[in-house]
Amino acid sequence: MSFSWESWVSQWPPLNTDVRRSLDERGYVIFPGLVDRDWLDALRERFETLVAAEGDAAGSEVHQEAGTRRLANLVDKGEVFDRIYLHPTVLAAVYHVLARPFKLSSLNARDALPGEGAQPLHADWGPREANAPWAVVNSLWMLDDFTVANGATRLIPGSHLKAGTPKDYCDPEAPHPDQVLAIAPAGSVLVWNAHCWHGGTQNQTTGPRRALHCYYAAREFPQQTEQRKILSEATKSRLDEAAQYLLDIL
Ligand SMILES: O=C(O)CCC(=O)C(=O)O
């Protein structure tokens, strides 16, 4: 095996001060324009094809949610997704937060249907213990413009620094006085310390609000989608060692 984590990390772009400060203090950052028009079209097309093909089973490998269209295990469902979980800018942001080797936990998709999609505030991990090392980072790839009206993700700046869970401080179902909506054009990527409280909001339009969720965990934790057990040989055979390491199949 010739793969070297240190050498891979050294190939990721440096993050500027504002990005690092936003991740540290607010707990999230938005990178605009990571997906160009052709790639965006291909991602949308693949999303719709998979939803149609999988029908009622769509998302069931990980999670189904009333009022949404969900997909799971996208690593194995199209080459178009390879560049999502391997994007150097996002990997650099994940590394900035976790500060140690990590792996992909899962790659899923979620579309809040018209009138639906409101979620309670939550972290993507258990109750926070003060000063415990960060365990997880999430990223959300916007396949549609995220607007005030169409169910943009809400986040509570700085909440990753609080011990416990949202319920210890507020009603997680209610609007929060500090909440910020992740408003950005399609092709943008929201990266957040996944201990930061967040949730989908209601899509009050008649259009879609599609996103990919690309979720990473420090290496000592299990994956949400255990690639070693389910990844097809066809997918594995096109992946280099860095990708295989990230998927924990090397
Ligand atoms: O899609 C979103 O806006 C956030 C979804 C989310 O946080 C979740 O499903 O746990």
**Domain residue ranges of the chain, discontinuous segments joined by +:** 5-246
Residue with tokens 């190939």, as numbered in its chain:
11
**Residue 1 banded pLDDT, cuts 50, 70, 90:** low
For a ligand 1 pocket test, name from 47, 111, 119 the mutation site with the most ligand atoms within 8 angstroms of its C-beta.
119
Q: What is the percent of the chain with per-residue pLDDT over 70, rounded to a whole number?
A: 100
- What residue's CA is closest to ligand 1, atom 5? 200
| Whether the CB of 198 sits within 6 Å of ligand 1 | yes
Mean of pLDDT values over 168-189: 98
Ligand 1 center–CA 154 separation, angstroms:
9
pTM of the entire predicted model: 0.98
Q: How far apart are CA 55 and CA 109, in angstroms?
A: 14
Mean of pLDDT values over 70-92: 98
Alpha helical stretches, state H, the chain: 5-9, 17-21, 37-54, 82-85, 88-98, 227-230, 233-237, 241-246
| Whether the CB of 69 sits within 6 Å of ligand 1 | no
Count of beta carbons in the 10 Å neighbourhood of residue 220:
11
Amino acid occupying residue 43: L
The reported pLDDT for the residue numbered 152 is 98
| Whether the CB of 199 sits within 6 Å of ligand 1 | yes
Ligand 1 center–CA 118 separation, angstroms:
9
Looking at every residue in the chain, the average pLDDT score rounds to 98
CATH topology of domain 5-246: Jelly Rolls (2.60.120)
The reported pLDDT for the residue numbered 61 is 96
Query: Residue 72: left (phi > 0), alpha (psi -120 to 50), or beta?
Result: beta
| Whether the CB of 200 sits within 6 Å of ligand 1 | yes
The reported pLDDT for the residue numbered 183 is 98
Class of residue 82 by CB neighbours under 10 A (exposed 0-12, middle 13-18, buried 19+): middle
The reported pLDDT for the residue numbered 159 is 98
Q: How far apart are CA 65 and CA 13, in angstroms?
A: 36
